[in-house]
Amino acid sequence: MQKKKTLVIGASENPARYSYLAVKKLTANEHPVVALGIKKGNIGNIIIETEKKPLDDIDTVTLYINPARQPDYYDYIMSLHPNRIIFNPGTENETLEELAHKNNIATQEACTLVLLSTGQY
């Protein structure tokens, strides 16, 4: 299986959060993960970054922030040139989807956890 370097935006140390579960499941499936959140912390051995740092080879950006917070990330996400953006339930955003398509980035309205569970990631 091909490993897909994934940026999780909206990462949280809270085990009840879907972003936390996604980071755990991505690492369990041996996908390299970069976690970006509001507060510093750790999910297992993954450090939650709070700064939008330049990154290479990002295959997938998976969103766990609501559409009202996403404009702050538009330029950053586009600068990474990912292959795709996953809009998890509650993060759907037509403006960001259109921007992605203009930049030849695929978009998917799906649940990262379900994609991983069903082998469709």
Query: 69: domain CATH number?
Result: 3.40.50.720
Residue 1 lies inside a defined structural domain of this protein: no
The tens digit of pLDDT for each residue in 19-66 reads 999 999 999 999 999 999 999 999 999 999 999 999 999 999 999 999
Residue 77 lies inside a defined structural domain of this protein: yes
Sheet of 6-9: strands edge to edge? Answer: 41-43, 46-49, 33-36, 6-9, 60-63, 84-87, 106-109
Domain range for 97 is 6-117
In the predicted structure, residue 110 carries a pLDDT above the cut 90? yes
Residue 97 lies inside a defined structural domain of this protein: yes
Residue 49 lies inside a defined structural domain of this protein: yes
Angle at 110 between CA 35 and CA 57, to 5 degrees: 40
Residue 93 lies inside a defined structural domain of this protein: yes
- Looking at the 3D structure of the chain, how many domains does it have? 1
Which pLDDT score is estimated for 5?
98
Confidence tier at 94 by pLDDT (50, 70, 90)? very high
Residue 90 lies inside a defined structural domain of this protein: yes
pTM higher than 0.95, yes or no?
yes
